[in-house]
Structure 1
């Protein structure tokens, strides 16, 4: 009888334990581990997403970009993530006519055309690529002697004036891409009195001296870096308010004169050109020989400063259009704090095919969405709401994200937890991140959990720190991508993650050659960097969405502020000592 009772008790205990396991909710940490597991990640799916997104050029405002938005919606929906499109009517510019003539003996008329390559699978849609131009460039025609100004930085103009006695006033300046934003190149030239600007991609910076794409990763001689020269954020005709129509019709807008007076659009015409065209112009320039570090690649002509004797006749006419752009917003509602938002964002529009910029990030965003959808099927639900945002018109000036922030400023300021951005998420090897300091430790933790896609024997963190004692976090100054309005206008903690990240790794930036073939051959042949980027991106988002107490580390922030303070104090102190010695001031 005693044995029977003991057996019954044991059976009941086992049954109770089993029942307890059945009804006990899975720990959030289990879902987090599952999110980065091989069973949920799918490089084949990323491959297909990127191939679909980049099959046609899809500049903002185009039908192709609207179709890409529909594709994003379809993936969100199939992943059990409710989504919707938020549209805005914004001011965009497109080129109507362009010409560039080098007046020498004989004269040269440049075609301003990027050539397709042998075996190019996208040659049949290459004519859909927007002609090479600068968005928001000033329309006009100028003819003047040409001056070479290196990268067009303030210090470059000081070198021209102080060391060489060269004045660029009244000239068309020739500058090379790199070092500073192209819009600042044009702005600096205007402030120095130039009447026009031509910017080219020097082979010294973008490669292609002997071999180039499709044989190597480098920019071909006819490759041109297209881009905006607008200096602001958001629609330039609606600064500070959203470009959305009210019930009364069109929203209020600044006129063209008011926009120009605002100082964020250029006041002289400009054009981008290829390395081949840039060198042709360089050969027409006489005058003093440029500094050694201003020279080009080993077989380039000797770079001289000018002005002239070559004369450039530059003509550009743009068209201002009020176009519809579409942000896609996916929502996974939080179970306990549905009014707090963790936001992941990437833009969709591209100047050409956009395999790296930005659709490597879009493919990673869709991978994150699909993994989160699988977690939901297994019972997971976030504590806080997760928003998956796919922005439009970033290339023109972060327009889609900025308009959305302007429309939702109050709720974002009080309810947003963090904004996590991924733009050119894969351009080559090597993990790179820029973030506000309170996210540093969280990102370190995530990289410790995810394998290095180029060395599976160690974590991303181990590879990242192998060259030093600690990771090098960049900070989010300027307006480089869609984090800008969240951080700089609303003060939301933000991060921007990527593999690769410099011109040397991704020289086809904003050119015709940023296509799927380049990505498959050079950017990420096995698409494992995309998988790793999605893992880090999503894992940080999960921790921010699920942990009861927000895992911010303000000690990192305090240390960063102390370093900045000490540096500023040291610089002021050193400057004061030098000033005292120079003027023999006694204290």
Structure 2
């Protein structure tokens, strides 16, 4: 029989053995270093994935996109990553017919009829499948006909219509059709702004100044060819418009067409996208006042006048809505110690045409991350937390696949997701760019310091980043441009989005193919390798580090800057910013406190107190994870209840734009217009709302009841 002394000795021996056994295994950081090493990376496999994914156009709901889903699923499965598809049955639209003609009074010439075709170039290796590209259209565009004089509205922003008003141009009289050029704002907002201004239809052209470049274009140079057209959605919501707030399962409740229109997120006037060659013809038909210098075109362009007319366009569009099956592909590496905590990596698969840049450069990188992690598993690595790979469908229609999945799994995700890491366009050219919720800033910078610059191997990505911008500029995820929206703006999950190269000329056209990527985007596929390394490294740190690498001091600093910007907007308006400033100050104190707790725990993580500390670590991590949820409000933004986050959401007049304090910003813009006591009182109300969620985040970080 053992006495107490013997038992204590035995326990000490076992504990010591376990400690030395565990210390003889590779540390997690060793696996992280291996992940970004050349021994695991392969630009060839990324290139092969991209080639396979872009053999055919694969719009959401098509057979080709279903085949692409099978490719992703089988690839993940081949890496021994348990995977499945999550189907949804969503309302997508496709073109049935469209036409555009131009009369040029006072000439008696017959109307010019535009063919609206993107031309196949000589030697195009995809010529045999070019007929599978959908006719150029806007998803969810209003079916109908608009006939009227053309009025040129620049980029179709609210301020552009204000400029026309100042010029004495009344766009709402005479049944005018707006001609806008792509750029600056989201195309759905171009259509919505046009409707609000009183025009009856919109033609959006790809201006040569912004996309056409020099005298040469693809395939000789990277620029958009004269017939190239940027297609895309004009839906201003997120997810299936017939199931707002709930998942589009097979036999779910759906809104009627009238109910969808009343919701206000689908266009109420018809629109068409056209090429810069066709836009040039229409511009030449417009007379009237000359537009400002910043309204003018580029080289060899005519003078851009605003009209209206005398050119008269006849725009006709007829679309059809179909309940289409879409498929998200989900792969899961289960965590060894905290399987109920999720780090999610997401990228969408569907494309308007071939989608080599947008989105399949990201899909190829997602598969490369999965393969490298599979290789780590074979070497003994097991993540502390669960890693989930999500390949979304129907993103191009309005973030549909990711939104439906988040809506269906809302409660599980809200209680378990550590962070969401998005890559949409992985590579469009040179230059690293990142956006994130602020507590991830430091983590992104650390990862950028560990990965070599693909265009200059003598320095890191961080080195090139800091040299190009003087200081790493991390954007914010308030815009609605990709699949992070449902995670950040709907359920409040910390998130990041990374890319190389930003915008590119052949965006959303049939020229976004493997040849463009091979010649201009990333000839050696080294930028793809770099995206894979940073994406995976950030995921590994979030999945493996005992204490989550979040720093909410960055959040406090960011909010202080936004509050300072707000001071000038409400000066002498009887608006009190003290509640907001006080709440931000409390957030800063809470961030300092939890950072001190982290340091204390890290200093006491000896093997003798491991069990006791693990409970404390779990509790501290929960506070770090849930603080982002506290920035959400169940009522959401005024008039936009799906957007629950009161710190980051799209600008009301530009879905691509990111606004801090979007509810306050919307209220200020309205108050400036009305300038009534009630309207400024609404601003004060929104300030109180934001102050309350920031206070909730502070209490969450502190982990204390009042």
TM category (shorter chain) comes to over 0.9
Greater mean deviation of Cα atoms: 177-186 or 165-174 = 165-174
Paired with 1:287 and 1:132, the residues of 2 have a C-alpha distance of 30
Deviation of 1:239 after TM superposition, in Å, equals: 0.1
The match for 1:510 is 508
Please identify runs of 4+ aligned residues in structure 1 that moved more than 4 A.
19-23, 574-577
Instruction: Give RMSD over aligned pairs.
Output: 1.8
8 Å contact kept, 1:208–1:221: no
Match of 1:277 in 2: 278
Q: Is the 8 Å Cα contact of residues 141 and 269 (structure 2) preserved in structure 1?
A: yes
Where does residue 214 of structure 1 map in the other structure?
219
| Partner of residue 131, structure 1 | 135
CA distance in 2: counterparts of 1:135 and 1:378, whole angstroms: 47
Q: Does 1:116 align with 2:104?
A: no
Deviation at 1:449, TM superposition (A): 0.2
Distance 1:468 1:395, change over 3 A: closer
Q: 3-state DSSP class of the match of 2:516?
A: helix
More divergent stretch after superposition (49-58 vs 104-113): 104-113
- 1:494-573 correspondence to structure 2 within 5 Å: 494-502=495-503, 506-573=504-571
My pick for the range that moved more, 298-307 or 49-58, is 298-307
Instruction: Map 1:141-540; keep pairs closer than 5 Å.
Output: 141-169=145-173, 170-245=175-250, 250-502=251-503, 506-540=504-538
What residue is the counterpart of 1:4 in the other structure?
none
More relative contact order, 1 or 2 (CA 8 Å, 6+ apart):
1
Calculate the TM-score normalised by the size of structure 1: 0.93
Cα deviations across residues 102-127 of structure 1 (Å, max 9, x unaligned)?
A: 12223110101000112110000000
The 1:235/1:22 distance shift into structure 2, 3 A limit, reads closer
Corresponding residue SS for 2:510: coil
Alignment partners' CA distance in 2, 1:573 and 1:209: 47
Q: Counterpart of 1:428 in 2: which secondary structure?
A: coil
Match of 1:7 in 2: none
Q: Contact conserved, 2:212 with 2:226, CA < 8 A, in 1?
A: no
* Structure-2 residue corresponding to 1:13: none
1:4-23 mapped onto 2 (5 Å cutoff): none
C-alpha separation between the residues in 2 aligned to 1:113 and 1:389?
34
Aligned residue pairs total 556
| Partner SS, residue 144 of structure 1 | strand
Change (3 A) 1:299 1:164: farther
**Are the aligned partners of 2:171 and 2:199 in contact in 1 as well (CA < 8 Å)?**
no
Instruction: Give deviations 1:501-538, integer Å, cap 9, x for gaps.
Output: 03xxx100000100000000000000000000000000
How much has 1:562 moved relative to structure 2? 1.2
Please list the CA deviations of residues 335-384 of structure 1 after superposition, one character each: whole Å capped at 9, or x if unmatched: 00001100000000000000000000000000000000000111111000
Structure 1 residue runs without a partner (length 5+): 1-15, 578-587
Shift of 1:80: 1.4
> What's the CA shift for 1:161?
1.0
Aligned residue number for residue 53 of structure 1: 53
CA distance in 2, matches of 1:212, 1:522: 11
- Equivalent-residue separation in structure 1 for 2:530 and 2:378 (angstroms): 22
Question: Which residue does 1:3 correspond to in 2?
Answer: none
Deviations 1:118-155 (A, max 9, x none): 21100000000011000000000121111100000011
Residue 37 to residue 346, structure 1, CA distance change in 2 (3 Å): same
Give the secondary-structure state (helix, strand or coil) at the position aligned to 1:449. Answer: coil
Q: Is the 8 A contact 1:168 1:307 kept in 2?
A: no
Point out the more displaced range, 21-30 or 250-259.
Answer: 21-30
1:287 to partner: Cα distance: 1.1
DSSP-derived class of the 2:468 partner: coil
Q: In 1, distance between residues paired with 2:29 and 2:559?
A: 32
CA distance in 1, matches of 2:294, 2:534: 39
Distance 2:60 2:75 in 1: 20
1-structure distance, mates of 2:342, 2:452:
28
Q: Deviations over 1:35-69 (max 9, x none)?
A: 00000000000000000000100000000000000
* Deviations, residues 391-447 of structure 1 (Å, cap 9, x unaligned): 000000000000000000001111000000000110000000010000000000000
Q: Distance in 2 between matches of 1:570 and 1:463?
A: 35
1:447 & 1:495 partners in 2: Cα distance?
A: 13
**Distance in 1 between the 2:490 and 2:274 partners?**
34
Q: Separation in 2 of the partners of 1:209 and 1:255?
A: 48
| C-alpha distance in 1 between matches for 2:22 and 2:443 | 32
**CA positional deviation for 1:24:** 2.7
